[in-house]
Structure 1
Amino acid sequence: MPAYSITEVETIDPDAAKEYIRLARAAVGHFGGRYLVLAASPTAAEGEWSGNRRLVVIEFADMATLRAWYDSAEYAPARALASKALRRRLLFVEGYDAQRQTGE
């Protein structure tokens, strides 16, 4: 079942953020991740959304692969840089498998 990394992010250091993006993209690709939403500015249909924040959604084959990416040596340099470059909320969630839910 696919798994998703969902990030609400605000840039706090533009130069460090550029390096983070370069490093993160390479690590995501190494683990077969696919960007579904990249630095989009969402429209809040309900509730509030800060105009400074962007949204990133990355799809991985499954939660094990997503966790392997996040804890990997390939992502470690980007992860170390993230706190300097970004203010973010990072969520991991499993996708919905309709066949599994209906028993087909």
Structure 2
Amino acid sequence: MSAYVIANVDVLDEEAGWVYAPVAQRSILDHGGRYLVAGPVPEPAEGAWASSRILIIEFPDMDRVRLWYDSPEYRRAREIRDGKVRVGLLFVEGSPPEGFTLPS
């Protein structure tokens, strides 16, 4: 089952962001990740959003998400961004659309 990484990114230092982004992107692609959403500034429709960027990345399964997150390549990206790019991540397993029902 597909799994997703939802990232809330706030770039505090643009120069560091430009260094971090390609390292993080390469690590994601090398671990089977695929960007579904990688827009610039989100446009809030309701509520308050304090991030400068939202990313949604699809992986083949949750095991691949964890392998990517713990990989030496992504650890390097995290070191680059430390204190300069604030990132919040959610790991979410996907559910197939057919047969999906909302809880009562």
TM-score, structure 1 normalization: 0.85
**Would the aligned equivalents of 1:16 and 1:84 in 2 still touch at CA under 8 Å?**
no
Q: Counterpart in 1 of 2:48?
A: 48
Matched, 1:70 2:69: yes
Deviation (angstroms), 1:83: 2.2
Q: Counterpart in 1 of 2:32?
A: 32
Per-residue CA shift, 1:19-66, capped at 9, x if unaligned?
A: 11010111111111001111432222221123x521011110000000
| Amino acid of the structure 1 residue aligned with 2:95 | Y
Unmatched 5+ stretches in structure 2: none
CA RMSD of aligned residues (A): 1.8
Q: Distance in 1 between matches of 2:40 and 2:15?
A: 19
| Amino acid of the structure 2 residue aligned with 1:41 | V
Q: Distance in 1 between matches of 2:99 and 2:80?
A: 38
Unmatched 5+ stretches in structure 1: none
**Would the aligned equivalents of 1:40 and 1:56 in 2 still touch at CA under 8 Å?**
no
Q: Distance in 1 between matches of 2:71 and 2:40?
A: 26
TM-score, structure 2 normalization: 0.85
Give the match's secondary structure for 2:67.
helix
Give the match's secondary structure for 1:75.
helix
Give the match's secondary structure for 2:10.
strand
Q: Distance in 1 between matches of 2:78 and 2:93?
A: 21
Q: Distance in 2 between matches of 1:37 and 1:101?
A: 23
Identity among equivalent positions (%) equals 43
Deviation (angstroms), 1:88: 2.1
Q: Distance in 2 between matches of 1:40 and 1:96?
A: 27
Give the number of aligned pairs: 101
